[in-house]
Amino acid sequence: VASLNEGEAARQIALLEVASSALDDYVAYYEQAFEKLRRLHSLCGSLQDNISAQRDQLKQDQEQNEATRSHLSRLREAHSKGELAMRPVGTAAEADKPPAKEGYLYKKSLKKGPKLQAAGWKRLFFRLEGGQLYYYKKGGADGPVERAINLLICTVAVREKETGKRFCFDVISPYRTYTLQAESDAALTEWVEAIRLAVEHNIYSLVEPSPRPPSTDLMA
């Protein structure tokens, strides 16, 4: 009887060991599946954030494009009504090309967030050429172009009040205002007049500025 009991106990132990091994395999399988699901959930979250960011960017681009179209439509309407005086820019030789100017200006930077806030001033190299205003983030005139501002859709105005700053002016587009500071009153006058003439040249000639810098040395 004792021998039979020992045999039965051994079989039960072996069965429990098999069941335990199978249970360990199931646990390992579900742990791997859970880890994959956790990674998939994280990926879906990142994908959703990316989709949301792309949707916001698309909305912003659509708003900017609509503002640009409205601005150009108003210019065309004013031109058709004769409200834009068709006068030459400079001499007859200069009327065929927009004015050009280059030099350093301080640019007021904005900190991105729920509300745009001033984040300081940076001294950057600017070049007015081909009816557009380019500025360079690094390397001065030899660095890469940071941005090209299409002056066809802009106006320029001296900024009367800027806390702690002098010689400031704004380049105003339908969807953004660039606040810039010249290094002297004379430089302020020169820049404002040059940009104003470039804007007028673009409007009066009704020629779109070239989408890329006209000089090869503008590119990195």
What average pLDDT does range 55-74 have in this prediction?
75
CB atoms within 10 A of CB 65: 12
* Lookup: tokens for 4: 């039979």
Say yes or no to pLDDT of 60 above 80. Answer: no
Residue 4: per-residue pLDDT: 62
Quote the pLDDT of residue 209: 44
Distance CA 10, CA 12 (A): 5
What span, in angstroms and rounded, lies between the C-alpha atoms of 203 and 200? 5
Tokens of 9: 């106990």
pLDDT of residue 214: 47
The answer to whether the CB of 171 falls within 8 A of the CB of 156 is yes
The pair of structure tokens assigned to 45 is 């979250």
pLDDT at residue 205 is higher than 80 = no
pTM, two decimals, is 0.54
Task: Name the strand (E) or helix (H) holding 179.
Answer: strand 177-181
Calculate what percentage of the chain has a pLDDT beyond 90. 21
In this predicted model, what pLDDT tens digit does every residue of 166-188 receive, in sequence order? 999 999 888 788 999 999 999 99
Q: What is the DSSP letter of 108?
A: E
**Which of 32-46, 101-115, 120-134 reaches the highest mean pLDDT?**
120-134
3-state secondary structure of 171: strand
Is pLDDT at 161 greater than 70 in this prediction? yes
